[in-house]
Amino acid sequence: MDKMNERCAVCGEPIEADDEKVFCPDCGAPMHGDCFRMEGKCPNSANHKPRSGEPEDRRESSGQPDFRMSGTGTHCEICGKPFSDDDDKVHCPECGAAMHRVCYNMTHSCPYADLHGKPQEEKPAEPERKADDRPVCGICGKPLSDEDEKVYCPECGTPVHKECWAVSPGCPNRHRHASGFDWNKEQERLRAGAEKRPDPSAMTDENYPDMRSISFDKFSDTIIAHPIRSRDSGEELTCRGVKQSELVHFLGTDNLSTPRFFSLFMSMANTGKVFSLNLSAWFFAPLYHFYRRMTGPAIILTLATFILMIPTMILEIMYLGKPDTTVINVPLSNAATITSYIMVIVRVAILIFNDYIYMRWSVSKILTLRERYKDADTDEYYAALEHRGNPRMMYVLGGVSLLMFLVYLLNVFISAMGITS
């Protein structure tokens, strides 16, 4: 049957290229994933032929030695999890390998397919597909642990969490299928150039790597090609669910500050650190935040700073050009003193917590862009990250304009109230 014209064995409707497709492990009938879950079985199950339990039957019919599983069949040969009494499992008709039905439906392939027809001694020590081989979900970017339920793209082998697939069915690398993309081969290619990867022995006590060994001119390329992994689990470290390649593009692959903020953000996300010193934010707030394109925090900080400065500015305007004035507006003077102390506290908070706030804000923006560009090409998504996250001087001009406008409004208010008189 032409795969382009396959019809669902349950509903009879054509199966499009973008549809989730599963196959009956007994007869190979194609079905929509939703139809299969609603029906719970293949509509042709009544006609399925019983399998022979004896390996000799198959060897005699094939006329050649047949690879046969010698295991106990107590665990799935795809995901590696033990079977429970309630699990629905199937067996490979060629070698008898036991698998969860759901696992087989997602891969439509026996993990020992390459060994069918070969002697038993050629069986590998472990199934080809292991949880540790695919440590990061291709949809959410979070680590895949042994306990997670996983599914794999039947076209390229990209791993995803089962719950992620249920919410957003479709391979995250489907735009690369036409070029023959294979997830396993891609990982092998990346590992082949691992000579530039930071030395795992440089891990700190907090299980975070020292990235000072990476030269600046190769920093972004090195992190994108060889993301930093945990020494204990071998999984890629993420920044609150954001992959390292996404973070590097958001901070800017060519920015001088990218190595500092990348290292700082990853450290904060993986060690729980919240304190750091940012002298630039302390001296130039809120213009620094406009430069970093933290528009929301920048506007809030601008308004807060302006409000706290109002008593002091009114005092200066009232007594400007009056050096001999001995009568001081006591309530206004006290208000100016209190707001000055509050301003000092705000500045100290900016000095200490600014980088942590910047990290949380960056993660929020990256996750928003990931959802917006989930159906776009990778290059388009990365370009959007670069455009949204790179610092811009024009935003500083916008911040200066906002401050001048607020000062103008204050002067209008003072004139209207006749305070200077």
Domain locations in the chain as residue ranges = 3-128, 130-192, 198-421
Residue 290: its pLDDT value, please? Answer: 93
Got the DSSP string for 222-251? Answer: HHHHS--B-TTT-PBP-BTTB-HHHHHHHH
More confident residue, 369 or 85: 369
> Lowest-pLDDT range, 182-186, 311-315, 335-339?
182-186
Is residue 341 pLDDT above 90, yes or no?
A: yes
> To the nearest 10°, the Cα dihedral for 158, 160, 164, 170?
10
Task: Give the helix ranges, DSSP H, for 40-167.
Answer: 55-62, 101-107, 162-167
Q: Tell me which H or E stretch contains 157.
A: none
More confident residue, 391 or 230: 391
Residue 133: its pLDDT value, please? Answer: 44
Q: Tell me which H or E stretch contains 152.
A: strand 150-152
> What number is the average pLDDT over the span 244-259?
90
Residue 420: its pLDDT value, please? Answer: 54
φ and ψ of 389, to 5 deg: -100, -20
Write down the residue that tokens 């776009």 correspond to.
Answer: 376
User: What confidence tens digit (pLDDT) does each residue in 46-90 have?
Assistant: 766 554 333 333 333 334 344 545 445 677 777 777 777 777 777
Residue 415: its pLDDT value, please? Answer: 78
> What number is the average pLDDT over the span 315-344?
77
Residue 362: its pLDDT value, please? Answer: 94
Residue 194: its pLDDT value, please? Answer: 47
Residue 324: its pLDDT value, please? Answer: 57
Residue 41: its pLDDT value, please? Answer: 73
Got the DSSP string for 250-313? Answer: HH-TT-TTHHHHHHHHHHHHHH-------HHHHHHTTHHHHHTT-HHHHHHHHHHHHHHHHHHH
> Mean pLDDT of all residues in the chain?
75
Is residue 197 pLDDT above 80, yes or no?
A: no
Residue 125: its pLDDT value, please? Answer: 41
Region of residue 83 (phi > 0: left; psi between -120 and 50: alpha; otherwise: beta):
beta
Write down the residue that tokens 């087989």 correspond to.
Answer: 104
Percent share of the chain, pLDDT over 70: 74
User: 130-192: what fold?
Assistant: Herpes Virus-1 (3.30.40)
For strand 98-100 and strand 159-161, is the pairing parallel, antiparallel, or unpaired? unpaired
Identify any residues that bridge with 98 across adjacent strands, giving them in sequence order.
91
44 touches 36 (CB < 8 A)? no
pTM score: 0.49
